[in-house]
């Protein structure tokens, strides 16, 4: 069974540009999460999808961040325009739905974003 995948693995962009990160969860997982780790700090929650619906987006820093999950499958996280403080590692995770083990989240390898 394929794990959570993320694309790209690395992205270097200039301040003011746009970047779109993609996450493909484990097949059949209803829950999809985005987290971010800024250099040297703890991993922080950004938002949570249940299928195609946003369940909780309380961790989104500001309106420069837009997340979507088309058809309840893969998800994208767009940062527009990017700022220096957006640099960090963006993790995606997925877990089963209500009928399964929804507590255990499986993580992707992360996308390392550097904004210059």
Partner 1 sequence: AQTVTQSQPEMSVQEAETVTLSCTYDTSESNYYLFWYKQPPSRQMILVIRQEAYKQQNATENRFSVNFQKAAKSFSLKISDSQLGDTAMYFCAFYNQGGKLIFGQGTELSVKP
d(CA 6, CA 85): 21
Shortest separation between residue 42's beta carbon and partner 1, angstroms: 5
Taking the least distance from each CB to partner 1, the nearer of 45 and 74 is: 45
Q: Tell me: does residue 7 bind partner 1 (CB under 8 A).
A: no
State in angstroms the smallest separation of the CB of 4 from partner 1.
8
Please give the helix or strand (H or E) that residue 49 lies within, else none: strand 43-50
Cβ within 8 Å of residue 101, ≥6 positions away:
95
88 binds partner 1 (CB under 8 A): no
Backbone torsions φ then ψ of 71, nearest 5 degrees? 65, 15
Which residues sit at the interface with partner 1, rule CB under 8 A?
3, 31, 33, 35, 41-45, 48, 55-56, 59, 91, 93, 102-110
């Amino acid at each position: 069974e394929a794990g959570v995948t993320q694309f790209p693995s690395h992205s270097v962009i200039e301040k003011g540009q746009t970047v779109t990160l993609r996450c493909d969860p484990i097949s059949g997982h209803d829950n999809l999460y985005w987290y971010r780790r800024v250099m040297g700090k703890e991993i922080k929650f950004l938002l949570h999808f249940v299928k195609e619906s946003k369940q909780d987006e309380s961790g989104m820093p500001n309106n420069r961040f837009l997340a979507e999950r088309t058809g309840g499958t893969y998800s994208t996280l767009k940062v527009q325009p990017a700022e220096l403080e957006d640099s960090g590692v963006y993790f995606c995770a997925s877990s089963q739905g209500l009928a399964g083990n929804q507590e255990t989240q499986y993580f992707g390898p992360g996308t390392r974003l550097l904004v210059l």
